Amino acid sequence: MNAEAAGILRRVEAFVRTHRLFTRGDTLVIACSGGPDSLTLLDMLSRFKDDYDLTLIAVYVHHGIRRAADREVAMVEQEAKRRQCLFVSRYIDVPKLAAATGRSVETAGREARYAIFKEIAVAAKAQAIAVAHQQNDQAETVLQHLLRGSGLAGLAGMRPKSGPIIRPLLALTRADVERYVSLVGLTPCEDETNSQLLYQRNRIRLELLPYLTQYNPAILADLNRLSDIARADEDCLELLAGRLYEAEVKLLKRGRALSRAVITAQPVALQRRLIRRLFQETRGSSRDISFAYTERIRELLDKPAGHAFEGQGLRVYTTAQDLCFIIAARGVKPVAAAVPAPVVIGGPGTYRFGRAVVHVRYSSVAPQETSHCLVRDGHACKGPLVLRGRQAGDTIALPGGTKSLKKYLNERQVPPEKRAAWPLLCQGHQVLWLCGLEASLTAAPQAATAAFIIFEFQEEDHA
Residues placed in the known binding site:
33-38
Binding region for ATP: 33-38
Check: CB of residue 268 under 8 Å from CB of residue 237. no
CA distance 405 to 155: 41
Q: How many C-alpha atoms does 187 have within 13 Å on its Cβ side?
A: 4
